Amino acid sequence: MTTRARRVAPVLMGLSGFAGLGYQMVWTQQCALWLGFEAAAVLAVITAFFGGLALGAILVGGRIERSAHPLRWYLACEALIGLWGLVLIVLMQPVGDAVEHWIGAEPTVWWQWTVTFGASFLLLLPATAAMGATLPAIERIVGARADEAGEDKRSIAGLYAANTLGAVLGVLLATFWLVPAFGLSATAGVCVALNAVCVVGAWQWLHPGRSSAALHDAWRLPSGTSTHRSGPAGARWTRALALTLFALSGLLGIGYEVVVVRVLSQLNEDTVYTFALLLAVYLVGTSLGAASYQRWWRRWGKQQEEDWLSSLLPGVLGATCLIGLAALWAAPALKSGAVNVFGTGFAAALGAEALLAVAAFGLPTLAMGAWFSHLSAQAMGQGTAFGRALAVNTLGAALAAPLFGVVIAPWCGPKAALLLIAGGYLVAAVAGSKTWRRPTMAAMTAIATIALIVMAVVGAPLAFVEVPDGARLVSYAEGSMASVSVVEDGAGVARLRINNRQQEGSSASLFVDGRQALLPVLLHPAPHRALFLGLGTGATSGAAAQDVSLQVDAVELLPEVIEASLHFTRALGLDGAMPRLVAADARRFVRASEARYDVIVSDNFHPARSGSGALYTREHFAALRERLAPQGLFCQWLPSHQLDLDSLRSITRAFLAAYPDAFAVLAANSLETPVIGLVGGRDPAAPRSTASSTQTQTAMPTLASWHARVEGAPARRDGRSLADFGLDDEFALLGSVVAGPGSLAAFAGRVPTNTDDRPIVAYLAPRLVYAPTSTPKERLFEFLHQVSASPSDVGVQSPDDSRRVAAYWQARDRFLEAGRSARSVADPAAMLAQVGEPLLDAVRLSPDFRPAYDPLLQMAIALAPRDAATARRVLTALRDAQPARIEAAQALQAMGQ
């Protein structure tokens, strides 16, 4: 090859690798929008990628091997990849919408997975098949040029190394820069441009300044040119066995990746950055393994009559997989040590996750790269076409994601899956050569086999669940997308966790969880049907289902969460009337269902977790509006303790795009885990209510109709009242409002809107998880200080009613400020010294404000036996500030006042 070709070829392969993995990252997130969960999209896109590569190599690889014009094939394939990438920028959304309806609102498990894998495969096939054909074309072109120049084929290994380096850069730059800064479509556009550069560069590489006649000749290779070097076939090496081992290497290699990623999701934060780091480490490891093999083989391994490497390498792979399994068992301690060494901060947290990836992937991927290189050399030495060998390898890889991700790991557990993979490599070591019978090889095989058996018998399951001292594990379930556990502490409080990282509520949070159901329901004039997106412990939808007049549907993605929620609903006494539970993806259910709902409530999904950011986009909010019945109302709860303010602004702007008259409410007065709700109606109008269920269009000019709404609330099956959830009267209901539409618009400002194409939240929110820069309390008050509400935002028009509502809000704000610096202590005197005066100020501001009245009353009564004077002073102030309430006067009378 020419000097220029030596310089240009690695660059082209690097650009091609960058584009290929850049596409994979983009398509994974785009497919997640209609597949419902990023973990499912990862499995589907991995399968589609390798399936397409295999099909392309099978259908076209042989023709390329026989073709006298491999350059034409390469140029055509690169052009097709770029063209289809361009088409998918336009086609992905409408196809995704069609697939969502095809899957249906409530599919069976097998139908959902079949369509998930099948649709992804077909949608990406033109590009992935072309990718599969480019590799045989490059091998044919470069190998032939090396033969013509009398050069060794190690130059091909260099091109593969450059391709892998480009792939690593594609993963990292797409995740850490391109997608957050420019969006998915723009990132795909960059990949399309790189394909175009590859086409132009390949043309120039082979045709630098030639005449037209020479240019025509350069398209051709001499008839019968082969990229394979002849060599002894080896009596023990058959083509059928070689192809079988190629398929096994792809199946087990990607299977190992899928299972390890699944296990580490219980220890890492499971964000978009987590998967990018894991994939990058995997690619670097296999690349270094291949390069090390080439270097070692040239120096020591050219005794082609010996096939001991055919046993040694898969045997080493089996052993390193067992070492990787041991590293996973030690991963919690390893991560704890890494945090102590690296410290805090975004980069430090990512460094700790990268360390876990290296521990689990490092040695196995080095061995994988070496074994694949050895299989390639063996196959080419006996005349097996490279395209055919590549095809069976990628076909095995395509089967790995559904086999290990959907079937084996959920059914048998990750430990059994990894032991099965290690065992598969040991079987390959025995089948690949007879040299395993030699004493050294036989001993190594026997030791690895014994280690595998010991690990299977005594090794703990790879189920990482934090169980504090005195607590117990109530239940644990391994699903196809996540693991779900319930842990109960010594006080009897049970907590629900997904992948051990994401707490979905507890049995002690019924007050707040119930309010998240009742507030939206009470804000609607006369609801008859409600939809809840996200189940968690089941407390929110379960509290709504106790309303005798309300039909409730609840949609939950993970069947394991549905099963675990029964523990909580039974413990909370909510199992007397259960909502209709649907195991489905929330986004797909909203688009595929034809039902209409008076009230839709969306759970406060953790914005940084896999796929959750897609539930806060403008497109999803608009789709929800289509599911609302006339006068319908939608409430999106936001975990502000898990959101930075820029993410909150981006979500708010997306919400206002669909609901311009939206307002914000606080679920409760909690300052440690504050939850903000964005509320919008199908019809642009202020909240409405009625004194009766038949008058659904009457506006709310006075407090009387709000009062009638609260007083006329239907009976509840569980025996609880609205007062049990702090909703004593109309002021408690309206008092939750903290921001009107104009205020929300000003707060959102001009930050980028969170959309399907530019998922701002998925990339911003994890940074808060990795490296918090402020406390939830600080962020809540910063939000509250930037927003405001007017009584007219809630339909209150009369001057007297407006004055009372505004006074209530002032008292609420004073109450919240009182708790900002307070520390909870058991001594009522110490507590009163902290918050007594601020709470009395709140009571005096509004005679209707009860949240400050009740705790002051309780502290005064508790303090009376030892400090009667202080207790009398507080009780007298309460009696005078809110004379309509008789509790303080009764307490004074009991003290003899």
pLDDT tens for 839-895 read 999 999 999 999 999 999 999 999 998 999 999 999 999 999 998 888 888 888 888
Question: Who has greater pLDDT, 796 or 206?
Answer: 796
The Cα–Cα gap between 478 and 492 comes to: 24
The Cα–Cα gap between 768 and 791 comes to: 34
HSE-up (13 A, CA, CB side) for residue 664: 30
What is residue 93's three-state secondary structure?
A: helix
Length of the chain, in residues: 897
The Cα–Cα gap between 390 and 402 comes to: 20
**Predicted local confidence at residue 416, as pLDDT:** 94
pLDDT reading at 70 higher than 90: no
Long-range contacts of 482-486 (CB under 8 A, 24+ apart): 482/39, 482/265, 482/558, 482/560, 483/266, 483/560, 484/558, 484/560, 484/561, 484/563, 484/564, 485/564, 486/564, 486/567, 486/568
pLDDT 10s digits, 7-24: 677 788 889 899 999 999
**Predicted local confidence at residue 517, as pLDDT:** 95
pLDDT reading at 230 higher than 60: no
Q: Among residues of the chain, what percentage have pLDDT more than 90?
A: 43
Q: Report CA-CA distances (Å) from 80 to 132, 133, 134, 286, 552.
A: 12, 11, 11, 27, 49
Q: Report, as an integer, the average pLDDT of 629-644.
A: 93
Of the candidate ranges 270-279, 280-289, 605-614, the one whose mean pLDDT is the lowest? 605-614
Q: Report CA-CA distances (Å) from 381 to 140, 304, 378, 425.
A: 15, 9, 5, 22
Residue 686 near residue 792 (C-beta atoms within 8 A): yes
Question: Who has greater pLDDT, 283 or 151?
Answer: 283
pLDDT 10s digits, 709-742: 898 888 888 889 999 999 989 999 999 999 999 9
Amino acid letter, 395: L
What is residue 599's three-state secondary structure?
A: strand
Q: Which residues contact 142 (CB under 8 A, 6 or more apart)?
A: 1, 9, 155, 156, 159, 227
Residue 522: what are its φ and ψ, rounded to 5°? Answer: -70, -25
The Cα–Cα gap between 84 and 639 comes to: 39
Query: Model's pTM, two decimal places?
Result: 0.88
The Cα–Cα gap between 88 and 110 comes to: 27
The Cα–Cα gap between 451 and 425 comes to: 14
The Cα–Cα gap between 792 and 661 comes to: 12
Residue reference for tokens 């909870």: 824
**Predicted local confidence at residue 709, as pLDDT:** 87
The Cα–Cα gap between 186 and 447 comes to: 52
**Predicted local confidence at residue 221, as pLDDT:** 41
